Amino acid sequence: MSPDRAGNLISTKPALSELTVACLNGVDDCVIGGPLDQISEFQGHCKARKIKTKVLDVPFAFHTKAMDPILDHLEALGRSIGFATPTVPIISNVFGCFFQAEHLTGSYFALHAREPVRFSEGLLDLQSSAPLHNALFLDIGPHPSTIPMVRSLNRHGSSTYLGTLQKSQKAWESISATLASISLLKTPVNWREVFAGTSASMLSGLPGHPLKGPEFFVPYREQLQSVEQGETSLPSLRTKTRFNLLPWLKPQPAPSDTFVFETTLQILGLLISGHDVGGTAICPASLFHELALEAVETAIPPLVGQTLVVTNMVFASPLVYKPSKEASVSVHLTKHTSDGGADFQVSSTSAGDPTESLHCTGVVSLRDQDVFDSRQIKDAALMKRQKQYFDTVGKEHCSIFRTRVLYEVVFPRVVRYSPEYQSIHHLRVSDSNLEGIGSFKLAREPGTGYVSHPVFTDSILHAAGFIANTAVKDRDVCICARVDAVEISYRDMDFGGTFQIYCSLLEVKGAFLADAIVMDASGQVIAAVRGMTFSRLRLSTFQRMLARKSTDADNEIVMDVGGFSIEDMDYNKPLDELGIDSLMQIEIASGLARAFPFADKMNHRTLSQCETLGSLEIALGLMLQSSAEPTSVVGSPKMVDEQPPDSPTPAPSTRILSDSIRDNPVALHTCNRESTPLCLFHDGSGQTTTYARLSGYDRDVFAFFDPSFGSTRKRYETIPQMAEDYVSLLSKSTHSPLMVGGWSFGGVVAFEAARQLLSKGFEVKGLVLIDSPSPVNHRPLPKEIITSITRSSRSDGQPREGKHNAALEEEFQRNASLLQRYGADPSAMARMPGLKTVMLRSQDVMDTESLVGLRYDWLSSQNDRDASIAAWESLVCGHIKVLPIPGNHFEAFSPANIAATGSQLWKACQHIESS
């Protein structure tokens, strides 16, 4: 949010009257200071406007009236100091410009504490007074905190940005690295002064021979012979098709349900180069659609009266065209044995690199014309109704865009279309930016040699894409990531005619879902594209993604969230040793999902399975390759690779892909032993991260997470409703007998799940409570404690610096409320006599009064915790065996205690089985 916008918001809200802009950090970045209650109110207004905020961990609201009590003392101190004109130019954060003589007064230090920090204004003054090409910005401080702000404000990409100290690095190492970088910029460094006062040994002189010899340039000459030989031999191995875009069919062993077609990037180049996204020519979805149709028309020709429909198109990675790049593009077709359709995938390989890159997958189905006709009747009625609305009532509530404005003014921010693609004559877009109607005609004669002309298909897609992009900011871009169905009556169609198009969009979780209907001049619906998903992301991020490998963006996101330098990025060190804890994982997962909209399975649960940055890199790479593959619904959790009985649990990096595509419950470990399986239920965070850290498994273990966390899915209203949903996912034939358990809130869910499982005929051998409070007359965890815990220090002991994820606090508070309501009427609670129960009890209490200034006995009093166990015994109608685990309640699964907690958990399971 810009400082001006923040100031305007504050000035229009009386409830925010004591807030002021304390720091002007950038064009869209500022700090607000004032009373905490008003800060919270301000956050609420920002959240409603989808503006990100972060509460800073500072003791006072610096640069606000909170500093007034010390101003007199600072002025007195300032008057006692003599000032001199600076010998080097210095920018004042008080005045937002270079120091002037009149600035050096005794009140300067008081102004420095009270006035807003005008950082961005100072940098703009620097830019206006000095050329910054190849400038070096050096942050002198405990951590390079100003570098991101300078980088965002500096217009010159040739500048260099360096820090001096890094919080995660030894001072000497950090400073030495900075000096080395400076020396590489041909800036002289007085190395003897650097090492003055140390025990470093110095050379008294240089060798007597020259250290720099002559340079030789040997021009690189590409080896073309093998490529030429391969090209001359290929025609004899391939069958020629009747299509120009997809000219070759590779021979396959007979009989075979698999077909491989080939073309080249040069053949597709004309159609790709007309679709320039952010300075890069990438293959449009319409071209993938045409390649799929041509492949099926050749390999599996449809019958008379049948039309090919492409469904479930997912775009895994962009196919980038460069005139100098030689690449082969393949379409792999796998015929269905039942319905005559086929699965397809489009991939490419570059010359000299056998690695295959996956770009698009989907399904081609055969549809009878009568099915087409029935859907088109409904589409025609809808389109005629909406056209009438736009012609009457909606006429005053829309904007009209014509060809020149569309393609020369508005569209170039996102996509530059060549004249061949500039087909839309006009488009009327509603004020909601979620609906539009218009007309289009192909700019050139359509020609022949296509199944469905790709420019016709692209006109439908980019009309919807244009409307989506009018609804986002200039710095954002909406990119098509998926298309559910493309239905075009291409047989006997006159592609040279004029067509009417209607588009309808919905905004869901930051993405836009769109449908489009096309009608010809006679009023007949001849095409519909359904379920277009436009993912929103930063244009600059997407441009970087096109130019880099995924791991480059991966590194950048991790470094940005964690405040790391490139030297900190140890790919073999555990994430917790790097200081990447569960809340930081949420931020990283969110950043990856924004940067890679095609990896739609990247979430906190997936990321939590990665032990190292190396495994994260592997997981992201696999996900980008597999995101387009259709997944089937599974009835029960099953590991992709079953483990032999005595094999250890695979490392998370080998399980990550299968976990990410599977629904509840997550299979943490399978070993095919005779031991009774254990089902664990999530704690108050809704996540299974804690359980994923366990080791030493002696049985199959599954874990349930809250599927509504971070999604638009309806929330659970009661614990019985939650447990009922989880229990419905278990199969009696697969999961009976079983044991249930959970940490904290999860133990109560496990208790309710056990009750429901028993009523359904499951054999529940026992219940393991991991320091779970009794639900009887339970007092919910106070909001202050939840906030303190979720914002607590990182696992490496450093203060948390990541953006706080409000969704986690909200999940904790919601589940605390569910727990309170569940035990509000003890007389109505079911008893389960004979349910063997073990409690893993944390040995330490927690001083909540020192932490947040209020008392919460269940965490801080052993007597209250003893009473809680007695209440549990009344619910299970029997004695509960208690096993101690180290630490307080929130430390049960910390890195220091996880081994002991895991050992006691397996001991508890063995006790239940042996009883």
Q: DSSP states of 823-856 as a string?
A: TS-GGGSPP-TT--EEEEEES----HHHHHSS--
**Residue 620 domain flag:** no
Torsion, Cα of 438, 443, 444, 450 (10° steps): -50
Per the listing, tokens 């570098």 go with 147
- Residue pair 414/282 in contact (Cβ under 8 Å)? The answer is no
Q: Is the peptide bond before 707 cis (omega within 30 degrees of 0)?
A: no
Q: The tokens of 911 are what?
A: 């006790």
The pLDDT value recorded for residue 543 is 65
Confidence label for 886 from pLDDT (cuts 50, 70 and 90): very high
- The larger pLDDT score, comparing residue 714 to residue 636, is at 714
Has residue 638 got a pLDDT over 50?
Answer: no
**Residue 629 domain flag:** no
- The larger pLDDT score, comparing residue 729 to residue 806, is at 729
The pLDDT value recorded for residue 594 is 56
Torsion, Cα of 825, 826, 828, 830 (10° steps): 140
The pLDDT value recorded for residue 593 is 62
Last residue of a domain, one of 368, 390, 414: 368
**Residue 482 domain flag:** yes
pTM above 0.75, yes or no: no
Average of pLDDT values for 842-858? 88
Average of pLDDT values for 471-478? 82
Q: What is the CATH number of the domain that holds 772?
A: 3.40.50.1820
Has residue 552 got a pLDDT over 70?
Answer: no
- The larger pLDDT score, comparing residue 510 to residue 742, is at 742
Active-site residue list = 275, 458
**Rounded to 5 degrees, what are φ and ψ at 518?**
-125, 135
Q: The tokens of 857 are what?
A: 């006995």
The pLDDT value recorded for residue 804 is 41
Same domain, 363 and 436: no
Has residue 881 got a pLDDT over 70?
Answer: yes
Has residue 623 got a pLDDT over 60?
Answer: no
Has residue 642 got a pLDDT over 50?
Answer: no
Q: The tokens of 73 are what?
A: 């003392």
The pLDDT value recorded for residue 561 is 56
Q: What is the CATH number of the domain that holds 172?
A: 3.40.366.10
Most confident of 562-576, 664-678, 873-887: 873-887
Same domain, 308 and 434: no
Q: How many domains does the chain have?
A: 4
Confidence label for 910 from pLDDT (cuts 50, 70 and 90): very high
- Tens digits of per-residue pLDDT, 734-761? 677 899 999 999 999 999 999 999 988 8
Determine what percent of the chain falls in helix, strand and coil, rounding each to the nearest 5.
40, 20, 40
- Whole-number mean pLDDT of the chain? 81
Same domain, 683 and 792: yes
Same domain, 353 and 376: no
The pLDDT value recorded for residue 852 is 83
Whether the CA torsion 57, 59, 65, 68 is positive or negative: it is: negative
- Residue pair 479/317 in contact (Cβ under 8 Å)? The answer is no
The pLDDT value recorded for residue 92 is 92
The pLDDT value recorded for residue 483 is 94
Confidence label for 361 from pLDDT (cuts 50, 70 and 90): very high
DSSP code for 634: -
**Residue 213 domain flag:** no
The pLDDT value recorded for residue 75 is 92
The pLDDT value recorded for residue 33 is 96
- Residue pair 680/741 in contact (Cβ under 8 Å)? The answer is yes
Q: What is the CATH number of the domain that holds 487?
A: 3.10.129.110
The least confident of 317-321, 470-474, 630-634, 779-783 is 630-634
d(CA 755, CA 826): 15
**Residue 223 domain flag:** no
The pLDDT value recorded for residue 563 is 58
Same domain, 387 and 278: no
- Tens digits of per-residue pLDDT, 10-69? 999 999 999 999 999 888 889 999 999 999 999 999 988 888 888 888 889 999 999 999
The pLDDT value recorded for residue 576 is 66
Same domain, 27 and 138: yes
**Residue 554 domain flag:** no
Average of pLDDT values for 257-279? 90
The pLDDT value recorded for residue 853 is 85
- The larger pLDDT score, comparing residue 387 to residue 339, is at 387
The pLDDT value recorded for residue 645 is 33
**Rounded to 5 degrees, what are φ and ψ at 653?**
-65, -25
The pLDDT value recorded for residue 185 is 83
Has residue 225 got a pLDDT over 60?
Answer: no
Q: Domain span at residue 750?
A: 664-914
Per the listing, tokens 């989907």 go with 362
Average of pLDDT values for 547-568? 56
The pLDDT value recorded for residue 168 is 75
Last residue of a domain, one of 334, 352, 368: 368
The pLDDT value recorded for residue 214 is 61
Last residue of a domain, one of 316, 346, 368: 368
CA 703 to chain centroid, in Å, comes to 23
Same domain, 503 and 363: no
Same domain, 15 and 138: yes
The pLDDT value recorded for residue 323 is 84
The least confident of 107-121, 205-219, 507-521 is 205-219
Average of pLDDT values for 357-364? 91
The least confident of 293-302, 394-403, 625-634 is 625-634
The least confident of 134-138, 446-450, 588-592 is 588-592
Same domain, 469 and 454: yes
Provide the percentage of residues in the chain whose pLDDT is more than 90.
40
- The larger pLDDT score, comparing residue 617 to residue 476, is at 476
Has residue 232 got a pLDDT over 80?
Answer: no
Q: The tokens of 480 are what?
A: 């098509």
Nearest to 367 by CA among 380, 379, 376: 376
The pLDDT value recorded for residue 328 is 93
The pLDDT value recorded for residue 556 is 62
Same domain, 497 and 529: yes
- Residue pair 442/456 in contact (Cβ under 8 Å)? The answer is yes
Q: Hey, what long-range contacts does 395-400 have (CB within 8 A, 24 or more apart)?
A: 397/430, 397/431, 398/428, 398/429, 398/430, 398/431, 398/436, 399/428, 399/429, 399/431, 400/426, 400/427, 400/428
Nearest to 678 by CA among 689, 692, 693, 668: 668
- Tens digits of per-residue pLDDT, 654-699? 333 333 334 678 888 877 567 899 999 999 988 887 888 888 888 8
Average of pLDDT values for 623-632? 40
Average of pLDDT values for 841-862? 89
**Residue 605 domain flag:** no
Same domain, 169 and 248: no
Q: How far, CA to CA in Å, does 714 sit from each of 296, 636, 706, 819, 870?
A: 41, 23, 11, 18, 35
**Residue 466 domain flag:** yes
Same domain, 831 and 729: yes
Contacts of 706 (CB under 8 A, 6+ apart): 682, 686, 687, 716, 722, 811
- The larger pLDDT score, comparing residue 850 to residue 499, is at 499
The pLDDT value recorded for residue 843 is 93
